[in-house]
């Protein structure tokens, strides 16, 4: 299995597609990966840290200023102790923070601190996806040698992520095990 023994830092950002992260965690763990979740405050409006932690069988990191998690500079440890950073769903807000180097919460701070490959699964309304600012941010993120986004397709749903699961799986395999990607 290409994912066996791989350490995935899963950043769950706040969009309606956040509920799909629960199934993603289950599937990654079935394939032998360990999943360490980070949730934005927006993500916590859609799914609970309790559900995410139960499926991941790991502590859920939610706060940049947590006394418990940050006493050993936890955001740096999270950024380093993984094989891949997976953002699913990746909202327009988080993609913009990545493109512009902003770090005002735990998720964006980890993204700025990591030197690991980053795979983003965009999920937003098609009009948001097509907005000039989002297109500009996608271009900036694409130029980063370590960031890849599974391309979304136009759909009538609020989640381009739903139509690109196969692409996400193939890019995940390519990022974690380039020799077996094809």
Three-state secondary structure call for residue 177: coil
Mean pLDDT of the chain: 85
The residue with greater pLDDT, 170 or 120, is 120
Q: Which listed CATH number (1.10.760.10, 3.30.420.40, 3.30.2320.50, 3.40.50.1950) goes with 7-177?
A: 3.40.50.1950
| pTM score over 0.85 | no
d(CA 176, CA 6): 8
pLDDT (tens digit, 9 = 90+) per residue, 47-62? 999 999 999 999 999 9
pLDDT digits (tens, 9 = 90+) for 85-103: 999 999 999 999 999 999 9
Domain ranges of the chain: 7-177
53-91: buried (b, 16+ CB within 10 Å) or exposed (e) per residue? Answer: bebbebebbbebeeeebbeeebbeebbeebbbbbbbbbb
Number of other CB atoms surrounding residue 133 within 10 Å: 12
């Amino acid at each position: 299995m290409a994912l066996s023994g791989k350490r995935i830092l899963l950043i769950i950002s706040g969009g309606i597609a956040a509920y799909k992260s629960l199934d993603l965690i289950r599937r990654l763990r079935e394939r032998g990966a360990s999943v360490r979740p980070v949730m934005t405050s927006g993500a916590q409006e859609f799914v609970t840290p309790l559900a995410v932690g139960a499926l991941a069988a790991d502590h859920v990191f939610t706060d940049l200023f947590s006394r418990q998690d940050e006493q050993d500079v936890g955001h740096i440890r999270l950024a380093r102790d993984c094989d891949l950073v997976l953002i699913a769903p990746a909202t327009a807000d988080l993609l913009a923070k990545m493109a512009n180097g902003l770090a005002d919460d735990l998720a964006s701070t980890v993204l700025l601190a990591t030197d690991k490959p980053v795979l983003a699964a965009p999920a937003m309304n098609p009009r948001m996806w097509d907005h000039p600012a989002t297109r500009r941010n996608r271009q900036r993120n694409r130029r980063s040698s370590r960031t890849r986004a599974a391309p979304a397709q136009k759909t009538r749903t609020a989640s381009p992520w739903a139509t690109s699961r196969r692409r996400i799986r193939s890019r995940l395999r390519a990022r974690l095990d380039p020799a077996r990607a094809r």
